[in-house]
Amino acid sequence: MEVFLLPDLRYLALCASEVNFIPAAIANLSRLQTFLLQGGYLTELLLPKTIWNIKTLRHLWTTAGFVFPDENLEVSPGLIHLDTLSLAIDPSSQNLEKILTKLPNIRRLRCKMTASRKKPTRIGDGILVFDCLSQLESLALRYFDGYGFKFPLDLKKLSLSYNEQSWSEISTIGKLPKLEVLKLLDDSFSGEEWEVKEGEFPSLRALKLRGLWNFRSWTASFDNFPRLEKLVLHDCENLEELPSCLGECPTLEIIEVKWCRESVASSVKQIQQEQIDTGNETLKILIEDCVDLWSPSEEEEEEEEESSPSETESISSQ
């Protein structure tokens, strides 16, 4: 590619399809700071060994995820300026932590499992360690079904999807002292009941729950979520209601509910009334398409009434 003949290039954004590796010639761009690659039908993108030589790199981002070479990591230089990374990993590899230590200043990381998708086979194998990234502030994890995680204590934003963890594992997240934004999406957790433990989520400001199909019961106490400002629930069709303690949360500004049960909408309205009773009249609620799947519509009820004989008709026909 001719673009690799521009040694002074600092920003490179490409749109491509059916690509699975990056040529070694990318190292000719010795001043490159940002490399973005997006397009349809992209699988994991294997980076060349020469990627370690581009010491100016700050942003590596793709819709698929880059796979770092793991040969000769002991002698490979680190990318100490890398700030933003979209990464694809094989969790069964013994080199994950070695690769991460070569990226000491990552602040924003999106991580997905490679296509091999091997589940842990022994106790202790299923823990992915990210706490070596002391500068990490934002982390998104996808498709790590069967794995647990160790997070850096300074993490501020966390997004999980398609991990199918047990709700008993969420206390690891609840203990993060600086976590401000949490997104639990698309079967990130599997199970019916989430019981928030005492003192968890002390700094959380925004919480989004979406596509948690089995989630039915959510309990919490007044000391949970003391700084929560925004709560979003989408497509949690089996959840029965929100924790009533949210009515006592003094920082709450907005609750958004969509595609949930009518009982959830009712609990939101009750929380709003409790907030008003305590002097908070600024809480906004947005409720959309909250209809129980088994509840008949008004049209169905009218059709049923029309098709059924009235009491008078029944008597007169006797």
Q: How confident is the model at residue 121 (pLDDT cuts 50, 70, 90)?
A: very low
Instruction: For 273-310, give one letter per residue: b (16+ CB within 10 A) or e.
Output: ebbeeeebeebeeebeebeeeeeeeeeeeeeeeeeeee
Q: What is the pLDDT of residue 94?
A: 77
The sign of the dihedral angle between the CA atoms of 213, 232, 182, 222 is: negative
The amino acid that residue 243 corresponds to is P
Q: Which residues pair with 194 in a beta bridge?
A: 218
CATH code, residues 156-295 = 3.80.10
Task: List the one residue out of 258, 174, 273 whose CA is nearest residue 223.
Answer: 174
Instruction: Locate 233 and state its tokens.
Output: 């629930």
Q: How confident is the model at residue 5 (pLDDT cuts 50, 70, 90)?
A: confident
Place of tokens 């929100």: 242
Domain assignments of the chain as residue spans, ordered by start: 1-143, 156-295
The sign of the dihedral angle between the CA atoms of 304, 307, 313, 314 is: negative
Domain 1-143 matches domain 156-295 at the CATH topology level: yes
Ranked by mean pLDDT, the top range of 30-34, 60-64, 291-295 is 30-34
First to last CA, the chain: 90
Distance CA 96, CA 133 (A): 12
Provide φ and ψ at 169, rounded to 5°: -85, -10
Distance CA 234, CA 225 (A): 19
Q: Which residues pair with 157 in a beta bridge?
A: 138, 181
Residue 6: is its pLDDT beyond 60?
yes
Q: How confident is the model at residue 292 (pLDDT cuts 50, 70, 90)?
A: confident
217-256 pLDDT, tens per residue?
999 998 899 999 999 999 999 999 999 999 999 999 999 9
Q: What is the CA radius of gyration of the chain?
A: 25
Distance CA 15, CA 13 (A): 7
Instruction: Locate 291 and state its tokens.
Output: 């209809």
34-72 pLDDT, tens per residue?
999 988 667 789 999 999 999 999 999 998 899 999 888
CATH 3.80.10 is the classification of domain 1-143: yes
Average pLDDT, the chain: 88
Residue 118 DSSP one-character state: P
For the residues 106-115, what does the mean pLDDT come to? 93
160-182 pLDDT, tens per residue?
999 999 999 999 999 999 999 99
pTM over 0.85: yes
Contact 44, 88 (CB under 8 A): yes
Length of the chain: 318
Q: Burial level of 205, CB count in 10 A (0-12/13-18/19+)?
A: middle
Q: Which residues pair with 193 in a beta bridge?
A: 217
Residue 276: is its pLDDT beyond 60?
yes
Provide φ and ψ at 265, rounded to 5°: -60, -40
How many Å separate Cα 220 from the centre of its chain?
21
